[in-house]
Chains A and B, each alone.
Chain A
Amino acid sequence: MTAHLDSGTNPPAQLPRIGQHDPVAQQVPVLQHGGYDQLDDHELLRLHVAGNPDTFGFLVKRHRDRMWAVAIRTLGEPEEAADALQEAFISAFRRADSFRGDAKVTTWLHRIVVNACLDRIRRRQVRQADPLPEDEDRAAELAGPVEQDAAEVRERRLDVLNALKQINPDQRSALVLVDMEGYSIEEAASILGCAPGTVKSRCARGRARLLPLLRQWQTTRGGDSDLQDKASETAAGIMGTE
């Protein structure tokens, strides 16, 4: 599915990666202020609130791959994810002064991104009930630039993203928050604006939908016999307590 993407061997020069000093990128004047990579997130945000025009952009660069992952998993469509992230970051830019210093900046940003994604899902649900049709070419682009990851990592990422796209958006949001992003049921309920029981139910049903879609992925990872062995162990652990 991804083979055609592997033809480009030269990574795009303008792709700045966190922690990697790209000589091309360093010639761009906006980065010449320098030294920001030494500052932690809190300090960058503090400077932004104090009026510094550069530090917020720096913060965005530092965390955009994490936030992209959240957005693309929740929304499934690159255009939607890009729009949601843009909204989220502009919103964060404008209300940075409301950030409480005792939290992690990433937690705060993450929450803003999640909310922007959920807003889009709600708006989309109003517009149309059906998910957008699957498109192989676009699906491949979901997994990000080719050159950065091993083929199997990309393959797995694509499988998960494509499987997530096939389940109902409510179940998907709950699963992304709880299983993938590690929010507690209560936190997810508060973000989603529904009862904890609803979140549990959406997660359960979402997993039941995903299972057949990802079973091949699971068995190829562990091998059938492995899975079976592991299965019996886990079962013994969990069922034995009853």
Chain B
Amino acid sequence: MTDSGLPTSEHLEHLETDTIADLLENLLPAPEAHRAREHVKACPDCQLTYDALLQLSEDLADEGRSDIPMPADVAEHLDAVISAEAVRRASTVGVHSLAQIREEPHRHIPKLLGAAAAVVLIAAVGVGVVMATKDRAGENVANTNPTAILPTGVVSLTTAQIAPQVQQTLEGSSGVVLNASANEVSCAKSFAATRPNPEVRLVQPARIDGTRATILGLQGGSPRDIQVFVLTGCDAGGTTGTSIYDTTVTLRNR
């Protein structure tokens, strides 16, 4: 059947599918490729496999062109996460995109508030990651930008979530994040003054496992280390904070 004296297909074992697939990708060394090609020509079964493999690539490409609808719960959760990220960015926008805010204040500020509203809405749906917020914009202290209205509020966290939350907040910011009222910030700063390194990076009102507290982040020994304290007594006009929990967080990319 063949010109080179090779046995005909009846006498030859079928090629492995792997071999035929390799042939299609030009992965076989020349002599082996030649033999395989001759065999496929002569052997209807292997010919079928050869063509089925070609067809498979086409079918996969076909299938690959179609989208797959994201399940509703996944989509909702993703929306919530993106909204939370937008609010987180907005809360540090005084540092991040001050220039744009100054350029177009009318355009941005209503949308920042819109994002804050979105988070309240989403939190109502019960997404764990998202901060449960109360609108306390009037009490905010914007440390760098008097025109930015910071969406803020009391973040509800478990103890285990404190470190990741601090990390996430500070990794998105190149400066100081003060999300609390002037009084709460001042109380936290008094506590900071008692520490060896009183440089404040974060003051965040929080509810930790149901207890109203203040998360204080201080600059640690290295630029990437943040010492975290959870204080009670700084909310509701208190002036003396007591640490009920502390940990250290190491920031990435900084």
Q: Write the residues of chain A forming the contact surface with B, with a CB cutoff of 8 angstroms.
A: 12, 14-17, 28-30, 32-33, 50-54, 56-57, 60-61, 64-66, 68-69, 72-73, 78, 81-82, 85-86, 89-90, 93-94, 141-145, 148-149, 153, 156-157, 160, 175-176, 179-182, 197, 200-201, 203-205, 207-208, 210-212, 214-215, 217-218, 221-222, 227-228, 230-232, 234-235, 238-239, 242
User: Are the C-beta atoms of A204 and B82 separated by less than 8 Å?
Assistant: no
> Does any Cβ of A come within 8 Å of B13's Cβ?
no
Pick the residue among B57, B74, B101 that contacts A68 (CB under 8 A): B74
Residues in A with CB closer than 8 Å to B101 are 51
User: Are the C-beta atoms of B71 and A78 separated by less than 8 Å?
Assistant: yes
The residue among B16, B76, B81, B90 with the most chain A CB atoms within 10 A of its own CB is B81
User: Are the C-beta atoms of B82 and A210 separated by less than 8 Å?
Assistant: no
List B71-102 residues whose CB lies under 8 Å from chain A.
71-72, 74-79, 81-83, 85-87, 89-90, 93, 96-97, 100-101
A-B contact pairs, 20 of them (CB 8 A): A30-B117, A50-B97, A50-B104, A52-B108, A64-B78, A73-B68, A82-B74, A85-B74, A86-B77, A144-B70, A157-B68, A180-B64, A208-B18, A208-B20, A208-B53, A211-B56, A230-B55, A232-B51, A234-B54, A239-B40
Q: With A14-B72, A82-B74, A228-B48 in contact, is A53–B112 under 8 Å at CB? A: yes
A32 vs B51: C-alpha distance in the bound complex, in angstroms?
53
B70's nearest neighbour on chain A, judged by CB, is A68
User: Are the C-beta atoms of B63 and A157 separated by less than 8 Å?
Assistant: yes
Pick the residue among A28, A56, A208 that contacts B82 (CB under 8 A): A56
Q: With A29-B121, A53-B112, A203-B25 in contact, is A180–B53 under 8 Å at CB? A: no
Q: With A51-B97, A157-B68 in contact, is A29–B115 under 8 Å at CB? A: no
A72's nearest neighbour on chain B, judged by CB, is B68
Q: With A29-B118, A51-B101, A227-B55 in contact, is A176–B68 under 8 Å at CB? A: no
A242–chain B nearest beta-carbon distance, Å = 6
A28 vs B114: C-alpha distance in the bound complex, in angstroms?
11
A78 vs B115: C-alpha distance in the bound complex, in angstroms?
28
Q: Write the residues of chain B forming the contact surface with A, with a CB cutoff of 8 angstroms.
A: 16-18, 20-22, 24-27, 37, 40-41, 47-57, 59-61, 63-64, 66-72, 74-79, 81-83, 85-87, 89-90, 93, 96-97, 100-101, 104, 107-108, 111-112, 114-115, 117-118, 121, 172
User: Are the C-beta atoms of A30 and B118 separated by less than 8 Å?
Assistant: yes
Pick the residue among A15, A93, A143, A210 that contacts B75 (CB under 8 A): A15
User: Are the C-beta atoms of B82 and A60 separated by less than 8 Å?
Assistant: yes
Residues in B with CB closer than 8 Å to A53 are 86-87, 89-90, 111-112, 114-115
Give me 7 other A-B pairs in contact (C-beta within 8 A), A200-B25, A231-B48 excluded: A28-B121, A56-B82, A86-B78, A141-B71, A153-B66, A214-B56, A214-B59
Pick the residue among B22, B50, B61, B112 that contacts A182 (CB under 8 A): B61
User: Are the C-beta atoms of B72 and A211 separated by less than 8 Å?
Assistant: no
Residues in B with CB closer than 8 Å to A81 are 74
Residues in B with CB closer than 8 Å to A231 are 47-48, 50-52, 55
User: Are the C-beta atoms of A180 and B60 separated by less than 8 Å?
Assistant: yes
Pick the residue among B20, B61, B79, B93 that contacts A180 (CB under 8 A): B61
A188 vs B107: C-alpha distance in the bound complex, in angstroms?
42
A15's nearest neighbour on chain B, judged by CB, is B72
Pick the residue among B27, B61, B66 that contacts A200 (CB under 8 A): B27
Residues in A with CB closer than 8 Å to B77 are 82, 86
